[in-house]
Chain A
Amino acid sequence: MESILKLEGVSRSFKKGRVNIPVLQNVDLSVTPLEFLCLVGESGCGKTTTGKILSGLLKPSSGRVLFEGQDVSKLRGEAYRRYRRSVQIIHQDPYASLNPSQTIYRILSYPLFRHNLVRNTAQARERVAELLTRVDLTPAGDIIDKYPHQLSGGQRQRVSIARALTTNPSVIIADEAVSMVDVSIRIGLLNMLMDMRTSLNVTIVFITHDLALAKYFAWDGRIAVMYLGRIVEIGHTPDVIGEPQHPYTRVLLSAIPEADPEKTRSKQHIALRSEDIPRLTELPPGCAFHPRCPWFIEGVCDVEVPRLELVPNAASDAEVACIPLTRGEPLTLYTP
């Protein structure tokens, strides 16, 4: 199927003083319409930067972003505005992402006026009330004239979701959208997001550091695992979770505690060769995971940068960036 959003060889670096920090390197990613796609990784892996580039909040340093097949850097006028309307983002922290000095009505009506989606206040109020009802903030009349500080964390995150819906987007990037809310209401919010796919025809790209949550969200879709600015494994969720291929994915899954006492106590943890995460400014040559990888091969992993490829004869159809694996070699533990 044709992709709705696509990254082609996207890199992005940030300047800090005289140092250049390569946050994303050569990322290829394609989002197909109405799929559940989840980006997972630890802090600093580039997942938020990827989300911001997808939604147009950041421009890539090199590489292209395609929206419905067209390079967004070449879009002008109404075509560009349509792209920006169509791709919306939900930020992580509902305490920081809503302007504290504006009412919920102001926050939600601003994009409506900005994009000429309503003509007058009466229409705007009606549409805002509709959006609030849509995200289960009912009765909308009680919420509409409140300020963010009068709402709880869960309610604020619902407002953020409503704001993402104001422009009738076709893609929503949900960046850790439920991480800051309490456990008991997290699943409710997530289910609401998942329902929007069918009820509103929105494709949702979910960004999280929580693999179990990623699994629940993208069970019928795909997971992309990121490490230090690159995608290291991408495939169908049941494969990535059940038959992890890339050493990093394996280590990660083995390290996570689980909400099942017997299971978590008997879990075998794969030991890393080093616990330190390399700095982005001093990335190791070759595969960025090689200094920590238990299956490191000298002269291979520290020389060549691996590309995303299928693993021959694997129980998984995931693409993996690991040279020994994609060559079809068995992994053997490194002994110095």
Chain B
Amino acid sequence: MNDVILQVENLSIVYKSPRGEVKATTNVSLQLRRGETLALIGESGSGKTTLSLSFIRMLPNSAKITQGKILYTRDGVTRDVLQLSDKDIRRFRWSDCAMVFQGAQNAFNPVLRVRQQFADTAIAHGQTDREWIKKRTLELFKLVRLDPERVFEAYPHELSGGMRQRTLLALGVLLDPQIVILDEPTTALDILTQRAIIDVLKEMQKRLNFSIIFISHDLALAAEMADRVATMYAGEIVEQGTVDDIFYRPLHPYTLGLIRSVPKLKREQDELMSIPGEPPNLIKPPSGCKFHPRCQFATEKCKVDPPMLVEYEPGHSAACWHTDKVVEARAAFAAQDKV
């Protein structure tokens, strides 16, 4: 089950703006394996959405990919998504890689019935057998625990927020993609609705065996959903590892800071810390390590020399000159938590 289906190599993306080039994503490399869930965590403006939009070539016109490859493998054939023809990319979207956007409230056309929107989507991406579309749609509704007949004929406004989100998930996997990208899948949903969506998503993944890339700033959600986590800061991946690596053994000061800034529900007060300063300006990012102005471990070296992503344990890498200090700080926190 270790086969890689998506391999991103040294990808950089810039946006043109009147004030200069915004370096949204810089030199990103990552891998996605079959059936796994990869969470991209980071703050707004860290490049999560830009990165995932590039996977389906949906970047706005102001964006330019300055370097890199996005290699996609299906049935033993590997292709670079960035080199696909317009016709091929249309087939690639939805049948190979689907994206479910933030804000299910607005994703549907309010004047068309749900069944029409499912049919339109399938036809636009090359599946024209109407009988097949209907059968598949009803099956998927059952899988996401919706009343198939009712939702099929409904208009979007007749569905509640949670139902719309589930309908959107069903639409995402309509053409049996290998990869589903979820952008903040449960923000703006209530806790109990969110729970229902998480459970449905897990069940769908088990049944249909697709891989998930999910983008979130919600660490708790990442802890529950992800097999692997990549932390992004200022357009770069600064740490990557299994979900346990990231939450229990972080190696990058930013990841450590994020984890230490989230309160938990145990019956004792949390010792939290906050990361000082503000997210960086991506037109003129800081020199060296982009995190250095906010980092408690920063030295002169960090101001000059940008660290590379280095693998410290199998599958666990971080881009930091001072991981040893992070390990020390981690140990200090662990001791403190025990007292």
Contacts and interface: CB of A to CB of B under 8 A. Distances in A.
Interface string B149-173: 0000000000010100000000000
Given A183-B261, A187-B272, A255 B195 contact: yes
A113 interface: no
Contacts of B162: 275
Interface stretch (B92-100, B134-142, B177-185, B273-281): B273-281
Interface in A16-53: 42-43
A184 B243 CA distance: 19
A241 interface: yes
Interface residues of B, number: 45
Contacts of B248: 261
B278 A216 contact: no
B335 interface: no
Contact of B270 (A183, A216, A265): A216
Nearest to A252: B191
Interface in A120-147: none
B247 interface: yes
A187 B261 contact: yes
Interface stretch (A3-11, A67-75, A100-108, A206-214): A206-214
Contacts of B243: 261
B160 A276 contact: yes
A234 interface: no
Contact of A182 (B44, B221, B259): B44
A275 B166 CA distance: 13
B145 to A, nearest CB: 8
A306 to B, nearest CB: 20
Contacts of A186: 261, 274
Interface in B23-45: 43-44
A153 B278 CA distance: 10
Contacts of A43: 190
A42 B278 contact: no
B257 A184 contact: yes
User: Chain A CB within 10 Å — which of B160, B264, B273 has the most?
Assistant: B264
User: Chain B CB within 10 Å — which of A238, A264, A265, A272 has the most?
Assistant: A264
A275 B194 CA distance: 11
A99 to B, nearest CB: 22
A335 B181 CA distance: 40
A251 B195 CA distance: 10
Contacts of A187: 261, 263, 272-274
Contact of B223 (A212, A219, A238, A257): A257
A273 to B, nearest CB: 12
B278 to A, nearest CB: 5
A262 B243 CA distance: 10
B196 interface: yes
A176 to B, nearest CB: 13
Interface in B213-260: 217-225, 243-244, 247-248, 254, 257-259
Contact of A260 (B193, B247, B274): B247
A261 B244 CA distance: 7
Contacts of A304: none
B77 interface: no
B267 A241 contact: yes
User: Chain A CB within 10 Å — which of B43, B192, B278 has the most?
Assistant: B192
B220 A184 contact: no
A152 to B, nearest CB: 5
Interface in A186-244: 186-188, 191, 209, 211-213, 215-216, 219, 238, 241-242
Contact of B220 (A152, A252, A264): A264
A250 B274 CA distance: 30
Contacts of B259: 259
A184 B267 contact: no
Contact of A275 (B44, B196, B224, B278): B196
A135 B98 CA distance: 44
A333 interface: no
B38 to A, nearest CB: 14
B278 A155 contact: yes
A277 interface: yes
A251 B198 CA distance: 15
Contact of A185 (B190, B193, B278): B278
B1 interface: no
User: Chain A CB within 10 Å — which of B262, B265, B267, B270 has the most?
Assistant: B265
B85 interface: no
A24 B269 CA distance: 31
Contact of B263 (A184, A185, A215, A255): A215
B160 A260 contact: no
A184 B45 CA distance: 13
A149 interface: no
13 contacts: A152-B279, A184-B274, A184-B275, A185-B275, A187-B273, A215-B265, A216-B263, A241-B265, A257-B218, A258-B224, A261-B243, A263-B264, A264-B220
Given A255-B192, A260-B264, A269-B199, 16 more contacts: A182-B279, A184-B279, A185-B275, A187-B273, A188-B275, A212-B263, A238-B267, A255-B195, A256-B191, A256-B265, A257-B224, A258-B220, A259-B259, A259-B264, A261-B247, A265-B224
